[in-house]
Structure 1
Amino acid sequence: MGIWRKSWDRLQKAWAIYVLRPLQIFTVSRVVEHVSGPLDVPYAADELIVLCLARDGELYVNSFIQHYARLGVKHIFLLDNGSIDRTVELAHQYPGVTILRARLPFRRYKMAMRHYLVRRFAQPQRWALYVDIDELLDYPFSQQVSLGAWLGYLRERGYTAVIAYMLDMFSDKPLTEVVSDVDDDLMALYRCYDISDVVRMDYYFPRNHLPTDALKAYFGGIRRTLFAPDEIRFVLTKHPLFFLDGKLKPLFVDEHFVRDARIADVTAVLFHYKFLGDFAARTVRAVQEENYHTHSEDYKKYLQVINQSPDMRIKRETSREFQELNELIGNQFLYVSSAYEEWASTNASEVQS
């Protein structure tokens, strides 16, 4: 019975990826609306575009766009999934942003909409970054090494994807006292993090080539501490930055993974801002709609604890206040090879000059 069950599960997954998903992507392409911004943005091999699917992200959009502009990305493509808040209005203020809209059910079309963004805007032999609206990526030594130089390092060594670990950021206040505004600087306000409950396991996506066994898959973190201390859940490992070399398959299975990639010898961080003032309301909505992985199972865990302790304080004795990216290298949350460290040291003065 177990063998038949596994075979049936594989068949369903293959059907969803190779048959249903292409049909859904075609549906997205027929209904998507162009709101503003250019649709064709040429970019070089040392430049980067950002792709994002969002709904009701007004508390995030200013920090999101400003962060990636500072990082040096070429352009941002934002696909709005029928927001009823100020997401589109706020994003429209910025140059270098293209806004589209698709009013399709998120639960059914979320992966198709993400793949549409990749197929429509990411160019062959170029880099692309797919991130959610609450994720801000940074990479080791970014204060000394420009984004273009970093991408050049990756390509010169034949890497086609970078692992990024999600780091949940939070306030030192109880949840009930956290009040959020559209003008908030998320990186300045949510400075606490906790890696004491990060579970490291062997990397488990065999079709990707690792440069070293030191690279691991991460689970848990502060969400495990708070919501499921006896379980291995909350995947913290993503592959958001990828190079379309003709072999790599982006967003394979879900938004966390790629396939047939050569993984880089340096990891990045995704600062993850889930615990804003609207956390409880978003959790209730996700549970009602059951539109996330396994019918919003993670959100049901969140809601159970929130209902029991609505004034819970996320910060623990093991929590730390973020100061600079290098500390994530020092505490071994991020992996940096000696080759990359030497290269960054050599190239830092050239970037600064």
Structure 2
Amino acid sequence: MTGGRSHTLTSGQSWVARYRLRLKRRRLLWRCLRARQHLTRLVDRTAEISPGDILGIAVLRNEMARLPYFLQHYRDLGVSQFLIVDNESTDDSAAYLQEQPDVSLWQTGASYRDSRFGVDWAGWLLMRYGHGHWCLTVDADEILTYPHADQRSLADLTRWLDQRGAKAFGAMMLDMYPKGPIGDTCYQPGADPFAVLDWFDGEGYTWEYQPRYRNISIRGGVRKRLFFAREPEHAPHLHKVPLVRWDRRFAYVSSTHIALPPVLNQVFDARGDLPTGVLLHNKFLEEVLEKSAEEKQRRQHFTHVERYDSYYDSLIANPDLWSPQSLQYQDWRQLENLGLMTRGAWA
């Protein structure tokens, strides 16, 4: 990894820059408020939310194969209630979610792209229900792990963060993949996806400080190695701020990569001595072949869609993402030893 743990952030900004960010945050909050008109409530269990609950927020479409494992994983970590937006799934996702006793579900047929890729919808739920709660905002193909995750719950982690006065927790997204062609994975719906996606790139990551939002941009992994080697600046961002003690004045700018106010983005600042985690990304199941063909036509997932046509074509061709340098996944300790996460002062 290039420059990971050595980074420290400078916080100096002109009053003009700070004022512009405040205006931007207000515009984003207005978008979230306005987005509520596109959401239809299917089942509402929000009355069961208690003051100390950790909330899980997700926007998804056609994720029935992942949902049982996704929900159970986060229940085991300590998420008490889930607030989910279904973007007009054509599989059984909505029906399944309505049956879950800890899920409140909204549905929309509006454009995912026009909603800032679901951020406006999630932002409304965070604004309406998340104030004062630790909120974990993740995609259905993201599974969080962190130092001591096998022994300590999210309640333990957030209690420690509260004691330190920290408002957010950062995690790097790590692309997991199989050995052999993607189409040969034979994933059984509901099972642990990392039984088949058990390889990852252990090196080749770059860290770059971006002063506007005071965040560190992380790029790398298999997508950069195979699909964006010639244009690494177009490779997907891997830094995220998925866990935040939410305030209704907060807003996500771009997925959960960047948040406002900028202090929330300093989760990778070595001076804070904070722990960080990893979001194990299980995108590359065999279904990604069909989904890539669909998404290439729908054009809903990227800001600059023309840059990703060749990316989709490469996935549709059923590639083998493995290389001799790939590492087989073991546990969070392995990720810490590689510098992909840190325990900071959380001993």
TM range (shorter): 0.7 to 0.9
**How far does the alpha carbon of each residue in 1:167-216 deviate from its partner, in whole angstroms, 9 at most, with x for none?**
11112231232334433321333211113222222x325555x8xxxxx5
Partner of 1:117: 125
3-state secondary structure, aligned to 1:163: strand
Quickly say closer, same or farther: Cα 1:245–1:157, change in 2 above 3 A: farther
Q: Distance in 1 between matches of 2:207 and 2:128?
A: 35
Quickly say closer, same or farther: Cα 1:29–1:236, change in 2 above 3 A: same
Partner of 1:242: 244
Tell me, yes or no, if structure 1 residue 321 matches structure 2 residue 328: yes
Matched-pair identity in %: 22
Tell me, yes or no, if structure 1 residue 54 matches structure 2 residue 60: yes
- Per-residue deviation at 1:251? 1.0
Quickly say closer, same or farther: Cα 1:158–1:54, change in 2 above 3 A: same
Partner of 1:64: 70
Q: Distance in 2 between matches of 1:333 and 1:160?
A: 21
Tell me, yes or no, if structure 1 residue 79 matches structure 2 residue 81: no
Quickly say closer, same or farther: Cα 1:340–1:297, change in 2 above 3 A: farther
Amino acid at match of 2:127: R
Amino acid at match of 2:50: Y
Structure 1 runs not aligned, ≥5 long = 1-11, 211-215, 342-353
Amino acid at match of 1:116: W
Q: Distance in 2 between matches of 1:112 and 1:190?
A: 31
Quickly say closer, same or farther: Cα 1:156–1:22, change in 2 above 3 A: closer
**RMSD of aligned C-alpha atoms?**
2.6
Quickly say closer, same or farther: Cα 1:57–1:298, change in 2 above 3 A: farther
- Per-residue deviation at 1:77? 1.0
- Per-residue deviation at 1:127? 0.9
Tell me, yes or no, if structure 1 residue 177 matches structure 2 residue 178: no
Q: Distance in 2 between matches of 1:164 and 1:92?
A: 29
Q: Distance in 1 between matches of 2:288 and 2:48?
A: 35
Quickly say closer, same or farther: Cα 1:246–1:32, change in 2 above 3 A: closer
Amino acid at match of 1:259: L
Number of residue pairs aligned between Structure 1 and Structure 2: 316
Greater relative CO, 1 or 2 (CA 8 Å, sep 6+): 2
Q: Distance in 2 between matches of 1:148 and 1:154?
A: 10
- Per-residue deviation at 1:133? 1.1
Return the TM-score normalized by structure 2.
0.83
Amino acid at match of 1:69: R
Partner of 1:258: 259
From 17, 28, 32, the equivalent of 2:35 is 28
Quickly say closer, same or farther: Cα 1:68–1:298, change in 2 above 3 A: farther
Partner of 1:198: 205
- Per-residue deviation at 1:136? 1.0
Partner of 1:217: 217
- Per-residue deviation at 1:220? 1.9
Q: Distance in 2 between matches of 1:206 and 1:104?
A: 31
Partner of 1:227: 227
